A and B are shown apart, each in its own frame.
Chain A
């Protein structure tokens, strides 16, 4: 079913890799692309390439790093091709032609928007580290593999960036306390 002539155990190893890493890869792609359909497409491409590279793909952190390196390149290629249309996430539900029910919408509060804006304002390296850690749930060692740097460098960048973000968010009076009674904005989202 999978590929042509896989060696014994390869399918099981690949399946285990997929099950262990899919959620992280998909969430990272979806965050970067803002488009669940495109995220699915690129996630399929990431793992398809992983299967073709199975002979050289080492298990463990190296494989995780390779998956995210590939995912980052695919995202970069996607944006290099040109501006995308307006993501459907930004389509208000009431304007959706198929009358999407309100439950498909995702509530993004002001705090989330502020945090995302602060992260978007980081440098490429810092933003990559933050996204890989907080969105993809990668550990420092795995981030180091994905970015081709040292674990110590990742620790340093993340610590320094968190301090910057903390200062920036404090300036915006954003804290980690649960918001109560705040205004929220609904954003339509296709499933």
Chain B
């Protein structure tokens, strides 16, 4: 009741409110208006408005670069992903009525068979499910039927010597052409507040960004690449930053610096970590530079090698994702990954307990 009365009351703007609103809007529309007849009270309020404008938007730098960059991103997100039309598309369009009539005739012909077919006796795991299970163990999986998106769930558990075990599942979606559409990794956090908690989602249909909780990423819509705009991982502050930068500065170019060792899926990997800003005495932010250096691409990890120059600047970034490689130049923030065809995924990518759902 009180809220309703409040709304009724506030909707009734006074003449002073409306006059002051016009004065404020003048500043936005840059329309000419005389301030000569304003009262001292109004001038004081306009001064407050100027103060707010200056304080809240201190950075009035031109946004042309940002505008152009986002425009490209908008175009990428709304661009169609339909495969190129085959050459006979025009012929098909011209003969569509005839084709439809033929289909109708065929349907009528086989209608009795379809009506009497024992659909309910079909086994549960057939079609795409069987195909995907076969794909998980076979080097050359058969083609996937058109028009179906496969869905694979892989439950796995990671154990690391110095941390609590992580358990979770990875869900993989493939499109009918066996291109990777999306990977969701959900898991119980190792420990509350540990950096690996959260949901990691790679969506390749352009609708959802990478959603690793502290990260921001954008996925392009062509279903084969995505651009990771920035990643920021909180991490335990285990090393003194100044000392780390000195180490980096002393290293020759093309030499990766490694700090710490961990294991991933039982294989030893090296974690390269640079912690930059302590939020308190125990946590910090890791900018761009948490990477796994594995001897070979692993199923679960995305190994990346960073190379720094003598000043500690990133000059090269190499990434192997499921057999693909990406490299960026000095000080670039975008990294485009190109994914290999799904046939080249290691069988372990799908996991031993994979099940498939159409």
Show the binding face of A for B, using Cβ within 8 Å: 1-4, 18-19, 22-23, 26-27, 31, 35-38, 40-41, 43-45, 47-48, 51-52, 81-82, 84-86, 88, 90-92, 95-99, 106-108, 111-112, 114-116, 119, 130-131, 133-135, 137-140, 149-159, 162-163, 165-166, 169, 174-176
Contacts A82-B213, A86-B279, A97-B274 given; indicate if A52 touches B56 (C-beta within 8 A): no
Contact with A along B211-249 (1 / 0, CB 8 A): 101101110000000000110111000000100010000
Residue among B12, B71, B314 facing the most chain A CB atoms (10 A cut-off) = B71
Q: Which residues of B contact A18 (CB under 8 A)?
A: 67, 71, 74
Partner of B21, one of A31, A35, A48, A140: A140
Question: Do A2 and B79 touch (CB < 8 A)?
Answer: yes
Q: Is the CB of B13 within 8 A of A176?
A: no
Interface residues of B in 101-119 (CB under 8 A from A): none
Bound together, the chains give a CA A51 to CA B25 distance in angstroms of 28
Q: A37-B229, A139-B25, A153-B13 are in contact. Are A81 and B211 (CB under 8 A)?
A: yes
Minimum CB–CB distance for A70 against chain B, Å: 13
CB-based contact B52/A119 at 8 Å: yes
Q: Give residues of chain B (56-72) contacting chain A, Cβ–Cβ below 8 Å.
A: 56-59, 63, 66-67, 69-71
Taking A85-B285, A97-B276, A166-B45 as known contacts, 4 extra A-B pairs with beta carbons closer than 8 A to each other, sorted by chain A number, are A37-B230, A40-B73, A81-B211, A96-B287
- Name A135's contact: one of B56, B67, B232 (CB within 8 Å): B56
Q: Which of B1-48 contact A (CB under 8 A)?
A: 7, 10-14, 16-18, 20-21, 24-25, 28-29, 44-45, 47-48
A2/B75 in contact, CB under 8 A: yes
Find the residue from B12, B45, B216 having the highest chain A CB count within 10 A. Answer: B216
Name the B residues within 8 Å of A37 (CB-CB): 216, 229-230
Q: Are B10 and A156 in contact (CB under 8 A)?
A: yes
A135 touches B70 (CB 8 A): no
- Could you tell me if B52 and A165 are in contact, using CB atoms closer than 8 angstroms? yes
User: Given the interface contacts A97-B274, A115-B51, does A162 sit within 8 Å of B45 by beta carbon?
Assistant: yes
User: When A31-B56, A108-B58, A140-B24 are in contact, do A85 and B214 touch as well, CB less than 8 Å?
Assistant: yes
What B residues does A140 contact at CB under 8 A?
21, 24-25
A-B contact pairs, 6 of them (CB 8 A): A3-B80, A26-B70, A115-B55, A159-B16, A163-B45, A169-B48
Contacts of A175 in B (CB 8 A): 47, 51
Name the interface size band of chain B. 35 or more
Residue in A1, A90, A115 whose beta carbon sits within 8 Å of that of B79 in the complex = A1
Please judge, given known A-B contacts A22-B63, A115-B56, whether A166 and B48 are in contact too, CB under 8 Å.
yes
Closest CB pairs A-B (n = 7): A115-B55, A85-B214, A152-B13, A155-B21, A176-B51, A44-B73, A91-B277
B83 to chain A, nearest CB (A): 13
Is B70 within 8 A of A47, CB to CB?
yes
Residues of A contacting B71 in the complex (Cβ-Cβ under 8 angstroms)? 18, 22
Asked if B75 contacts A92 (CB within 8 A), the reply is: no
- Does chain A have a CB within 8 A of B164? no
Q: Which of A40, A95, A154 contacts B66 (CB 8 A)?
A: A40
Residues of B within 8 A of A52 (CB): 78
B24 adjacent to A158 (CB under 8 Å): yes
- Distance of A22 Cα from B71 Cα, bound (Å): 9
Q: A22–B18 Cα gap in the complex (Å)? A: 28
Q: Say yes or no: is B312 at the interface (Cβ < 8 Å to chain A).
A: yes
Q: Taking the complex as formed, is B53 at the interface, i.e. its CB lies under 8 A from any CB of chain A? A: yes
Residues of A within 8 A of B241 (CB): 95, 97
Which residue of B78, B289, B311 contacts A51 across the interface (Cβ within 8 Å)?
A: B78
Give, as a whole number of angstroms, the nearest-CB distance from A64 to chain B: 12
Q: Tell which of A40, A48, A88, A99 touches B77, judged by Cβ atoms closer than 8 Å.
A: A48
Interface residue B313 (Cβ < 8 Å from any Cβ of A): yes
- Is B130 part of the contact surface with A, judged by Cβ < 8 Å? no
Residue of B nearest to A30 (CB): B59
Residues of B with C-beta under 8 A to A38: 216
Smallest CB separation, A22 vs chain B (Å): 5
Q: Check A41–B25 contact: CB distance below 8 A.
A: no
Residues of A within 8 A of B313 (CB): 98-99
For residue B48, which residues in chain A have a CB less than 8 angstroms away from its CB?
A: 162, 165-166, 169, 176
Please tell me if B82 contacts chain A, counting CB pairs below 8 Å: yes
B79 engages A40 (CB within 8 Å): no
Q: How long is the Cα–Cα vector from A175 to B51 in the complex, in angstroms?
A: 7
Min Cβ gap A12→B in Å is 14
Partner of B78, one of A27, A48, A106, A163: A48
Q: Is there contact, CB below 8 Å, between B12 and A152?
A: yes
A112-B55 contact, Cβ under 8 Å, with A155-B13, A169-B48: yes
User: A138–B49 Cα gap in the complex (Å)?
Assistant: 14
Query: Smallest distance from the beta carbon of A31 to chain B beta carbons, Å?
Result: 7
Within the complex, what minimum Cβ distance (angstroms) separates B19 from chain A?
A: 9
